[in-house]
Chain A
Amino acid sequence: MTILKTTGLTKSYQDSIAVDHIDLDIKAGTLVAFLGPNGAGKSTTIKMLTTVLEPSSGTITINNTSDKHRMRESIGIVFQESVLDNELTVRENLDSRAQMYNHISIERVNEVIASVHAQNFSQKPYGALSGGQKRRVDIARALLNKPRLLFLDEPTTGLDIQTRELIWELLTQIQHDEKMTIFLTTHYLEEAEQADDVYIIDHGRIIANGTAAKLKEEHTQNVLLITSGDFEAIINGLTKNIAYHFTPKGLLFNISSVREGITFLNRNIEKINLFEFRQGSMNDVFIKLTGKEIR
């Protein structure tokens, strides 16, 4: 079942087009990563999908409705920057936001506090929390209205590695418990690896779409780097045309598959002392497609 569908979604300003005819088709219950360099149109797209910004043209359908108000009932957002009030306690923050919805009970506020494990600091002012604790409360806020579709706009930027892992554990658990679809934008490409579906956007257009595995297969090569060995003998012994070049670290081969790499190593077992083998990553996909590093 499709939870989010857009056709020809466009946002243009007087002298520029921020988002240019984007078509998305997102299946319910999946984790979708939406990647792009800064200024590619990610935030503008998220703003339109979350009904905050009016599209110039195109349609958005969420949970089978295109009515802005009905769409709002099905979505939750964890904003890039925190949107809760520093001066209020965690509970006051969540209560005040809950009261802006029509049918959110006090039990639901307790539920979301429990699901992000925030019971211990629910009476503390939000401003006094650590970065990771704040993020957890932000997630709790987004869960208040039991969204079918949760938008996460760079949810782990600025958090240390342990906290990032903790947040992801939580999100995976919550996604499972609440049967949600997660729409994620991130700067950490390893987070995109676990996505069911990846969209890459640049200059306002979708330039690639597919599973992480498919994108890696299509757009990256495996790299075999011989750092120590008899380079001349290896080159002389090459049976077919394998591309190679010298780098400051050693002799580098682009290998199309893991199997081919193993065969190559076996054949040259006497000539190689040290080597590195690296499979293509989402980072390589990203650089290949957009021509730039994401950070």
Chain B
Amino acid sequence: MQALTKRNLKLYFRDHSGMFFSLLSALIVLGLYILFLKNGMVKNWQNIPDNKKLLDPWLMGGMLSVTATTTTLTGAAQLVKDKEHQRIDDFLITPVSSFLIHLGYFFSAVLIGLIMQSVVLCVTWIYFASSDNVTLNLGILPQLLGMLLLNSLCASSLNLLIVVFTKRVTTLGTISSIVGTASGFFAGVYIPIGSLPHMAQTLIKLYPGTYSASLYRRILMHDQLISSFRNLPAKELSSFKKMLGIGLEWRGITTASQEITLILAVTLLALLLVCVKVTKLRK
């Protein structure tokens, strides 16, 4: 299984164009924000001091959610390529069980998600620090690392669930474009969730990446939220959070621990379904 994970990582990182395209959605999110969205949003929240220092980390949260989704999908896509070219048969004749082989694909996807999210985090951190003097407290690093891992686990398990049911690389290409396009929308980075119609908001709330984005925003924006809203009424803060998708509205506003529980539950459920598929249904 380790050998397979190592092999999958090598294949991902050696295919430079594939690696670039797996990051494309995240890059588009960043480009759109810098070129168009940021301006409008800054104007919208003119009354909030240092609003750029709030909005930049907000975008980073969404970007990280998108990055994990798209890069782990590219990572897990190796399974579809291997199925189509019958490489999977070459693995199945080794003493490694079918379950462990699929676990190998899962772990390589998790590691790819972890590494690519870290890269995106570092690059955007440096960029926003130099352009808008955004300062992030290094004390949030342990929380951030935990979140990188959680987000990668969740995205990998969902994508693994997609790829175990996909037989053709061309089908997966279509799925990738849909996921790539939709993930930015679902993570609420093209348009803040609060400005969407009710129907669209409900749809977004069904997507686990939304909760990852929310958790990232809690961590990344925590200090700046306190300092920016120090002299503003509490009502302003809660409506700002609701507008930007920091906590999502169900019966009340979700808390961080509820969001973590939900992500873990989705991850476990997806992995369980994968297990059933690879152990029971193989004929």
Contact = CB atoms under 8 A, between A and B. Distances in A.
A29 to B, nearest CB: 22
The main secondary structure of chain A at its interface with chain B is loop
Contacts of A69: 95
Interface stretch (B66-74, B83-91, B203-211, B233-241): B83-91
B94 A87 contact: no
Given A69-B95, A72-B95, A85 B89 contact: no
Interface stretch (A30-38, A74-82, A245-253, A275-283): A74-82
Of B10, B91, B94, chain A has the most CB atoms within 10 Å of the CB of B94
B87 A75 contact: no
Interface in A49-95: 50-54, 69, 72-73, 75, 77, 79, 81, 83-85, 87-88, 92, 95
Contacts, number: 66
A256 interface: no
Nearest to A144: B94
A2 interface: no
Contacts of B277: none
A51 B282 CA distance: 12
A50 B93 contact: yes
Interface stretch (A98-106, A200-208, A222-230, A263-271): A98-106
Given A75-B93, A100-B3, A83 B10 contact: no
A99 B3 contact: yes
Nearest to B97: A69
Given A81-B86, A87-B14, A88-B11, A96 B94 contact: no
Chain A contact patch, size range: 20 to 34
Contact of B93 (A51, A85, A96): A51
Contacts of A99: 2-3, 6
Nearest to A92: B10
A35 B1 CA distance: 36
B88 to A, nearest CB: 9
Given A54-B283, A88-B11, A83 B94 contact: no
B141 interface: no
Contacts of B200: none
B7 to A, nearest CB: 4
A277 to B, nearest CB: 45
A97 interface: yes
B85 to A, nearest CB: 7
Contact of B11 (A54, A79, A87, A141): A87
A97 B3 CA distance: 7
B86 A77 contact: no
Interface residues of B, number: 22
Contacts of B90: 77, 79, 83, 97, 141
A230 to B, nearest CB: 60
Given A54-B283, A99-B3, A87 B86 contact: no
Given A92-B10, A96-B7, A102 B95 contact: yes
A63 B87 CA distance: 25
Given A85-B7, A87-B15, A100 B91 contact: yes
Contacts of B282: 54
B123 interface: no
A72 B6 contact: no
B204 to A, nearest CB: 37
A77 B93 contact: yes
Given A54-B283, A85-B7, A88-B11, A100 B95 contact: yes
B95 to A, nearest CB: 6
Given A83-B86, A99-B3, A88 B94 contact: no
Nearest to A70: B95
Interface string B127-168: 000000000000000000000000000000000000000000
Given A88-B7, A88-B11, A51 B86 contact: no
A85 B283 CA distance: 26
B199 interface: no
Which 4 pairs, one residue from A and one from B, show the smallest C-beta to C-beta distance? A99-B3, A100-B94, A83-B90, A96-B7
23 contacts: A50-B93, A53-B283, A72-B95, A77-B89, A81-B85, A83-B85, A83-B87, A83-B89, A83-B90, A84-B87, A87-B11, A87-B15, A88-B7, A88-B11, A97-B90, A97-B94, A100-B3, A100-B91, A100-B94, A100-B95, A100-B96, A101-B94, A102-B95
Interface of A: 47, 50-54, 69, 72-73, 75, 77, 79, 81, 83-85, 87-88, 92, 95-102, 141
Given A52-B93, A101-B94, 19 more contacts: A50-B89, A53-B283, A54-B283, A72-B93, A72-B95, A77-B89, A77-B90, A79-B89, A79-B90, A81-B85, A83-B90, A84-B87, A85-B87, A87-B10, A97-B3, A100-B3, A100-B94, A101-B95, A141-B90
